[in-house]
Amino acid sequence: FELETSLRGALAAHEFELYFQPIMDIGTRRLHAMEVLLRWRRGGKDGKGGELVMPDQFIPIIEENGMIVPIGEWVIRQACKQSMLWHSQGMMPVPLAVNLSARQFMHRGLVESIRAILDDTGIDPALIEFEITETALMQHGEQTLEILGHINAMGIRLSIDDFGTGYSSLAYLKRFPVKKIKIDRAFIKDLEQSAEDRAIVAAIIALSHSLQLSVVAEGVETEGQYALLQRHGCQFAQGYLFSQPVPHATAQLLLPRC
Ligand code: G
Ligand code: G
Ligand code: G
Ligand code: MN
Ligand code: NA
């Protein structure tokens, strides 16, 4: 309850901040994209002071009370502004992947607010991606399909987050306008020790490719995992092997210059 009360004023008080985690191209070891991860700088302001609160501590609360809608909209807008700012400072933009939760999909105004953000910031929609969990997609069926269709028509790419943790099949997911899947880090963790996990990951990669989906492996922490993923034809990887999520000033140093 205490957290919920202090969350109420957090957006207006500039307590939220975006962190960025690199997603690497496995073949070239170059930066491919960055995932945007929200942080709450409780009691601080504009990226300074306070105590850093992680999403698992507050996302469930703001999902439950509906504050995810305005806060999630702020995340999308801030990511677009950041991308435009980096570009104006001479950095080569890479796509930024923003997480969308189930509750954001149930909100009728989502498509309109995305459209307004694209208009206001002038960002190229190809530089924004949305990550949606398998479970969120399954929850709302037809309505979700319609909303994803609108987002896809705007030129924003969609990916399936935490793949393998839900109950859907890749064949079913093909009904959605999705271009990329992210294999949950639970399957990557023991890749070097577990023949079973290697078989699962190899099968996901092979089937994804035959369905024209690109694949990101999450939670890559070792060179051994990296080499195995490369051997199985996985294109992209994200994890502590490359970088933890970092604030904008650090993320900027990872971007190539134009
Ligand atoms: O940052 P961290 O690696 O602890 O993120 C944990 C989880 O919190 C992510 O996997 C994601 O599901 C969720 N999350 C982080 N940032 C956002 C956000 O901006 N919006 C939503 N809806 N979820 C987020
Ligand atoms: O320092 P200032 O009050 O202008 O920062 C406003 C917010 O804009 C900060 O919270 C910061 O996270 C964000 N921001 C993103 N990119 C930049 C940047 O390149 N410079 C500054 N100063 N702020 C940035
Ligand atoms: O959207 P998603 O829930 O997948 O967000 C990624 C989460 O996974 C974040 O909380 C991030 O801090 C965490 N994470 C990112 N890379 C690694 C990693 O290599 N190992 C582990 N254990 N966690 C990671
Ligand atoms: Mn994600
Ligand atoms: Na994930």
Summarize pLDDT for 76-112 with one digit per residue, the tens.
999 999 999 999 999 999 999 999 998 898 888 999 9
Range scoring the smallest mean pLDDT among 30-39, 163-172, 206-215, 242-251: 163-172
Domain of 73, in residue numbers = 2-254
- ipTM (interface predicted TM): 0.91
pLDDT at 123: 98
CA 153–ligand 3 middle distance (angstroms): 29
Q: Could you list which residues have their CB under 5 Å from ion ligand 4? A: 99, 131, 161
CA 120–ligand 3 middle distance (angstroms): 31
pLDDT at 8: 92
67 lines ligand 1 (CB under 6 A): no
For ligand 2, atom 12, which residue shows the shortest CA distance? 47
pLDDT at 142: 80
CA 225–ligand 3 middle distance (angstroms): 15
Q: Which CATH number does the domain housing residue 105 bear?
A: 3.20.20.450
159 lines ligand 1 (CB under 6 A): no
For ligand 3, atom 13, which residue shows the shortest CA distance? 219
pLDDT at 166: 83
pLDDT at 255: 97
Res. 140: pLDDT tops 80: no
245 lines ligand 3 (CB under 6 A): yes
Res. 156: pLDDT tops 80: yes
Summarize pLDDT for 220-241 with one digit per residue, the tens.
999 999 999 999 999 999 999 9
Picking from 94, 33, 105, the residue whose alpha carbon sits closest to that of residue 72 is 105
Q: What type of residue is 14?
A: H
Res. 215: pLDDT tops 80: yes
Share of the chain above pLDDT 90, in %: 87
pTM (two decimals) = 0.95
pLDDT at 168: 79
DSSP 233: T
37 lines ligand 1 (CB under 6 A): yes
pLDDT at 88: 97
Q: Ligand 2 site: residues with CB under 6 angstroms? A: 17, 46-47, 82, 85, 248
Calculate the average pLDDT of the chain. 95
Scan for tokens 């969609």, then name that residue: 158
**Which of 46, 78, 91 has the most ligand 2 atoms within 8 A of CB, as the residue to mutate?**
46
Over range 116-121, report the average pLDDT: 98
For ligand 2, atom 21, which residue shows the shortest CA distance? 249
Ranges of H-type helices in the chain:
2-8, 55-65, 68-88, 102-106, 110-121, 134-153, 170-173, 195-210, 223-231, 248-254
Q: What is the DSSP string of 176-196?
A: S---EEEE-GGGTTTTTT-HH
Picking from 3, 2, 71, 13, the residue whose alpha carbon sits closest to that of residue 44 is 13
User: What total number of domains does the chain contain?
Assistant: 1
